[in-house]
Structure 1
């Protein structure tokens, strides 16, 4: 019997086999959960990757189209989920996007329109997704989002760092407002991982070198499993009174000085 036995979990952001979201879905299935996936912008890509999950090419594994910046898709999400399961026990927010113009040292030159796009997709979407799923979590549940340490200004991360700081604050406010519904909201702040999203960040490997030098437990940029395991633990009933927290899965870098 796994720690998610019998639970229904919605996982966003499964685009590649080396993403944290994919490994969350994989481990959650191994721990007994029924998984629903959302896909954007290419549903066929997520459907293809889903066939590599432990359930294999299971036709009953739903993949729902969801652009978290699209109000109509968010409005219809509860009905589309209800076509497959009667309720949700957990939601994984693994969504972040930003135009290249707000990264790479262009902090002072980035336009509000591009910054707004980054904040909408990467920050406000945590509230949007949680609010859309809340009617299906009447028995309580857990929302887990993916974060990157926003307590410092990282080279070239620029407005995405600001968006992540907003995500952390958003999670705390969500915890306040959905707590009376029995819903917990927590974030997992992973160290740098060599995913397609990370490869789109200029200077990614320069930042990753910090972890190589400073992580007391060491850090493998090619292994998303530790972060995924933390997400699965937070989705389980083993943290019944924990909400509004940021769990660092970074080899210990966040507590180490120079």
Structure 2
């Protein structure tokens, strides 16, 4: 029996540790038959080491999503490893310290602009950079944290995530005629390196565990990774511009 992603060629960004959503997505994708290429930024040797922990060691290409030269050359560099792309995972986000932890009224525009560029605008940048390798049936999936509410300490990153959600809808409109879907997967709080960098992250955990009707384990990344792989597959052929919840149902509950 073939896997859900048999024969698919995927580019997955944001692998920093083997606890990251991106790493688990890459692992599940390989188990389901996909060929995976990873991107890394900054600590390339670390990403390359993590890549060797996958079921099949994956090639790593360098990508700073704010670097125009690297974006312009991305298709050619990825093309050294695969002859096209069927899916792209955007698992990138960053906000300077001033933008998190309760300083919403004080964060300077320069820092806010960085958060929006890296966390939202880069979805467009990455998708456009990959277009030469993609065709009908392609799927772009971004990682989200539901930005329809204000969260404690999340501050300007929450604003950036709201911008990411809007960007995904406009990108879905633009890429739909090319047969390419664009969706987000909104995960509940997980104990990843990215989450631990958010001051007050622990405030998210207990309410989620108490109110999510399916329950929630902040240490279990696998359900979210499976959701991402599902959206990358051919089984969501007419789903685009959507935010797919992988949060145990928390988003649907009141007090």
Q: Give the Å deviation of 1:156.
A: 0.7
Q: Whole-Å Cα distance in 2 between the matches of residues 41 and 95 of structure 1?
A: 13
2:42 maps to 41
> What number of residue pairs does the alignment pair up?
254
User: What does residue 15 of structure 2 align with?
Assistant: 14
TM-score (ref. length: structure 1): 0.97
Question: What is the distance in 2 between the residues matched to 1:156 and 1:129?
Answer: 28
Are 1:241 and 2:238 counterparts?
yes
Specify which of 138, 143, 147 is matched with residue 146 of structure 1.
Answer: 143
Aligned equivalents of 2:141 and 2:153: distance in 1? 26
Task: Name the counterpart of 1:31.
Answer: 32
Deviation for aligned residue 1:250: 0.6
Partner in structure 1 of residue 226 of structure 2: 229
**Residue 105 (structure 2) aligns with:** 108
Contact 2:72-2:129 at 8 Å conserved across structures:
yes
Structure 2 residue runs of 5 or longer lacking an equivalent are: none
Alignment of 1:91-170 (within 5 A): 91-170=88-167
CA apart distance, 1:213: 1.6
Distance in 1, Cα, partners of 2:25 & 2:132: 23
How many Å separate the matches in 2 of 1:50 and 1:119?
28
Per the alignment, residue 75 of structure 1 pairs with 72
Rounded Cα–Cα distance in structure 2 between residues aligned with 1:240 and 1:93: 19
Classify the secondary structure of the residue corresponding to 2:152: coil
Q: 1:20-59 deviations in whole A, cap 9, x for unaligned? A: 100000000000000000001111111111111111xx4x
Q: Distance in 2 between matches of 1:164 and 1:175?
A: 16
Q: Deviations over 1:110-150 (max 9, x none)?
A: 00000000001000000000000011102430000000010
Deviation at 1:204, TM superposition (A): 0.2
Matched ranges for 1:179-218 at <5 A: 179-218=176-215
- Distance in 2, matches of 1:83 and 1:222, equals 35
TM-score (structure 2 length as normaliser): 0.98
Unaligned runs of 5+ in 1: none
Q: Which runs of 4+ in 1 moved over 4 A?
A: none
CA–CA separation in structure 1 for the residues paired with 2:29 and 2:246: 18
* Local SS of the residue matching 1:67: coil
